[in-house]
Structure 1
Amino acid sequence: MTNYFSSDFKLGILGGGQLGKMLLYNTRKFDIYTCVLEASNDAPSKIACDEFHLGNLMDYDAVYNFGKQVNVLTIEIENVNVDALEALEKEDVNVYPASKTLRTIQNKAKQKLFYVDNNLPTAPFTRFAYLSEIEDAINNGGLNLPFVWKAAQFGYDGNGVKVVRKLEDLDGLPSGECIAEQLIPFKNELAVIVARNPNGAVKTFPVVEMEFHPEANQVEYVICPARIDENVAKKATEVALKVSEAFNHVGLLAVEMFQTEDDQILINEVAPRPHNSGHQTIEASYTSQFEQHLRAILNLPLGRTDSKVGGVMVNLVGAEGYTGNVIYENIENIMTMDGVTPHIYGKKQTRPFRKMGHVTIVNEDLNEARKVAEAVKKSIKVISE
């Protein structure tokens, strides 16, 4: 077995954002040597890695040359050059998740077709090469309003997704490849994070419930465990495990799902990395999602995934109307509340709806934690000078 700890083993991470930074809390805990590739010198991860490399994650040479210097390569963002990863795999660099998995997940149309091909439940959809084809499909009756438009590539944090209720809603959307997905009425948005190591050991974290911001289409609260019937939780976990098995990924796979009005589970989308729906695990679980990702990609025994205590996570995003040097207003006030831990990502510049941090609230009583979360949300403001 490889000696990862206090050794000359090198772990490479593509992406230097907040997910990378939180992954690095754990590499430091284990004294694992880390190299990060990121295009911005102001990246949150810069302060926490052993080697910081500047480079564009979509650039073949940048990714390939970086990957040649490490033993295991992982990601904290999907938008990376997959051809470079494939070349590295052929040269015996361990890449997790594999290029094949990433190629499918990077493109939402391919991802949806993968669910259909593997008999996995997902909302009905139509794939379009160009936005202009959607209008034709509506006019000739091949597509009914309302539906959810999704850009096939490069969507993130609510960008690249829009509910289309009338033709005019298509105005201003990117013109390229996209999907139109049936708008499914649902009770809850749920997520399950599955961890899998190269030996095939698999563990799931408890089902979480996600409450979304209506305008920004971003998660506002993550509630763990989800306040749902035991049978629904069991069904959601089973679906997540089936998705994980179909991808046969290594590392973490966050599976976002809808619980329909009649308690069916439909897959929305997946992320093959640590995910916003698992941040509460840092304080609330025996093993955080970030430690588990490391255990999985290094083929170490997977950690215990149940919660020690109920947890609610609140995203801290830039307030509307503020752009510039960030100020966290009333952060001292929220720190007087029991069970509250802020995480500040280290982005110096704020802009509307930019993810700037999160706050975890833990409490034996989940309803109490949810109330405190609301108070946190009302109190703290991410503004600029």
Structure 2
Amino acid sequence: MSAAFYQNFKLGVLGGGQLGRMLIQSAIDFNLDVWILDPDENAPCKNIATQFIQGSLTDFDTVYAFGKKCDLITIEIENVNTAALKKLKEEGIEVYPEPQIIELIQDKREQKTFYKNHQIPTADFVLTENREDVRKYITMLPAVHKLGKEGYDGRGVQKITTSQELEKAFDAPGLLEKLIDFEKELAVIVARNAAGEMSTFPVVELVFHPEHNLVEYLFAPARISEQMARDADSLAKKVIEKLGMTGLLAVEMFLTKDGNLLVNEIAPRTHNSGHHSIEANITSQFEQHLRAILNMPLGSTATKIPAAMVNLLGEDGYTGLAKLEGLEDVLAIEGAKVHLYGKKLTKPFRKMGHITIVDQDLNRLKEKVQQAKQTLKIKA
């Protein structure tokens, strides 16, 4: 396939957000033409894609017509029309990750059932059909109720701790999952190419926003024992192997208080938990995704330097044209690199960019994270 890179090879990406934007930045090194489909006329990829097409990601005809123009299709968001992708694959166009895997991951109910069927450790759960159904499982509280479909970036997840909070349950098909008393939240990004070669990035430690269920910042590598890191690595490989998936898979896990690992959720694409790899690892997650879907040898994921990643979220109470406060001060922090996503409009907790900070000293790294968090604000 390598010869095709120089002869009009078209990589089609469903979704034109920040993940697509960073994928394009990496694809330039491979001389790849990247075609983007996204419903937002002002999507972050608009001005840097080889071709940008505005259109629905969930409409069969739109996705099919877009895919017919490409040599290979990948995604940067799961909410896409998988029927169209299946037809494209039947007609000889490569699609990675495979359409049936995207379809499975689109539904958290199917995802959790997959773990259970393949002996992948996960939190205890029951499938629920509606709000009334949730009431039958009061003995499972405290728990988390999740929408089966269309939950994203913290939406579609509701914590229910007491019987009085059962009204918060979604009145739609979902799953009720036992609330885990965890020590840390971890993530492993694993890649697998079509030849079956696998490679993982070092485990990262996630810190979530207390209210909005979004990653606020992370540390890489995670502050865990070598044995726990090996166990997390093996678990991520088991998940992608059982799926039989080609591409990049982010595997989010709980490390419980009694030292067990439980898979929480997976994402079949580049992921927020791997952004630091651009600066901190020999190969970035974006390059690794390209290597995997193009069936190239996977790159080294060795850590060059410890890192932290801070998400830049729109400030609460501000909606409108984005204005940055404190950019110069953050750029003055040694080891800080700011990535802005090209989003003109801000709204509360919208992902507007991220900061990666590198430092050999963990204590200095923690201090710089707090400094960056308090300094750079995105308002309107």
- TM-score, scaled relative to structure 1: 0.97
Do structure 1's residue 258 and structure 2's residue 258 form an aligned pair? Answer: no
Q: Contact 1:19–1:76 (CA<8 Å) still a contact in 2? A: yes
Which residue number in structure 1 is paired with residue 335 of structure 2? 339
Q: Contact 1:7–1:33 (CA<8 Å) still a contact in 2? A: no
Q: Contact 2:145–2:169 (CA<8 Å) still a contact in 1? A: no
Q: Contact 2:160–2:169 (CA<8 Å) still a contact in 1? A: no
What are the superposed Cα offsets for residues 290-335 of structure 1, whole Å, 9 maximum, x if unpaired? Answer: 0100011011111110110001000000111111111111111101
What are the superposed Cα offsets for residues 254-301 of structure 1, whole Å, 9 maximum, x if unpaired? Answer: 000000011100000000000000000001110000010001101111
Which residue number in structure 1 is paired with residue 287 of structure 2? 291
| Cα distance, 1:368 vs structure 2 | 1.5
Gaps of 5+ in 1: none
Please, which moves more after superposition, 213-222 or 158-167? Answer: 158-167
Q: 1:233 aligned to 220, 229, 235, which one?
A: 229
Do structure 1's residue 307 and structure 2's residue 299 form an aligned pair? Answer: no
Do structure 1's residue 209 and structure 2's residue 205 form an aligned pair? Answer: yes
| Cα distance, 1:230 vs structure 2 | 1.0
Q: Contact 2:73–2:94 (CA<8 Å) still a contact in 1? A: yes
Q: Please give the alpha-carbon distance, in whole angstroms, between the structure 1 residues aligned to 2:36 and 2:163.
A: 44
Q: Please give the alpha-carbon distance, in whole angstroms, between the structure 2 residues aligned to 1:258 and 1:11.
A: 35
Secondary structure at the aligned position of 2:258 is classed as coil
What are the superposed Cα offsets for residues 327-383 of structure 1, whole Å, 9 maximum, x if unpaired? Answer: 111111101110000100011111111111000001112331121011100111111
What are the superposed Cα offsets for residues 193-243 of structure 1, whole Å, 9 maximum, x if unpaired? Answer: 001110111100000000111111111111100001111111111111100
Which residue number in structure 2 is paired with residue 267 of structure 1? 263
Secondary structure at the aligned position of 1:347 is classed as coil
| Cα distance, 1:137 vs structure 2 | 3.5
Change (3 A) 1:320 1:168: farther
Do structure 1's residue 126 and structure 2's residue 122 form an aligned pair? Answer: no
**Identical counterparts, % of pairs:** 48
Q: Contact 1:327–1:383 (CA<8 Å) still a contact in 2? A: yes
Secondary structure at the aligned position of 1:155 is classed as coil
Q: Please give the alpha-carbon distance, in whole angstroms, between the structure 1 residues aligned to 2:23 and 2:339.
A: 13
Which residue number in structure 1 is paired with residue 26 of structure 2? 26
Q: Please give the alpha-carbon distance, in whole angstroms, between the structure 2 residues aligned to 1:322 and 1:87.
A: 43
1:160-171 superposed matches below 5 A: 160-171=156-167
Which residue number in structure 2 is paired with residue 62 of structure 1? 62
What are the superposed Cα offsets for residues 20-59 of structure 1, whole Å, 9 maximum, x if unpaired? Answer: 0000001122221111000011000111110011110011
What count of residue pairs does the alignment treat as equivalent? 380
Secondary structure at the aligned position of 2:102 is classed as helix
| Cα distance, 1:168 vs structure 2 | 4.3
Q: Please give the alpha-carbon distance, in whole angstroms, between the structure 2 residues aligned to 1:352 and 1:40.
A: 19
Secondary structure at the aligned position of 1:47 is classed as coil
Q: Please give the alpha-carbon distance, in whole angstroms, between the structure 2 residues aligned to 1:357 and 1:168.
A: 38
Do structure 1's residue 377 and structure 2's residue 373 form an aligned pair? Answer: yes
- TM-score, scaled relative to structure 2: 0.98
Q: 1:200 aligned to 196, 200, 203, which one?
A: 196
Please, which moves more after superposition, 332-341 or 167-176? Answer: 167-176
Give the letter aligned to residue 227 of structure 2. Answer: N
